[in-house]
Structure 1
Amino acid sequence: MKIQQKLSRSPKGILGGPLYLRLRTEEMARVEQHAAADNRSRANFLRIVTLLGLDAYEKETARLSDLSTQLASSSHP
């Protein structure tokens, strides 16, 4: 008797449990439009957009932190 391995759609390390997101009707329509244009599922499209947003957020917070540090050091004679 063969033991079948459990199949997964996601690569290892991706499954952290579902995240629920509430979008307005027009926002969901935009997601569906872009996902279809990229030939992706809504979930995959939202994952990509989330990762892009995280990168942008981290760059912006690092930039603001650096600016704050520079301003603090330049205000001390």
Structure 2
Amino acid sequence: MEDYFELPVTYKGEELLLKGRLAAFTYVYKFYVTVDDSELEFERDDNGEFRVISSGGGEGNVDRNLIAAIIDVLEKLQTM
């Protein structure tokens, strides 16, 4: 099952609206967020923290601070 959404992220003082989707599997779920035509795949690690596990070939080009901002928003959404 997949749900599509827009993720508001503040990065370098600018409000970005990134396209995302949530994919639910039997025991886990993953978030996919598109940044500059690259799809970043986020899932929780063994400690319960979000991490990028793949990027469709472009994560090296995505600023780590932007990735951290996306993770921050995903964390906040999980606590609502």
* TM-score (normalised: structure 2): 0.28
Q: Which has the higher contact order (CA 8 A, sep 6+)?
A: 2
Which entry has the higher C-alpha Rg, 1 or 2?
1
More strand as a share of residues = 2
More helix as a share of residues = 1
* TM-score (normalised: structure 1): 0.29
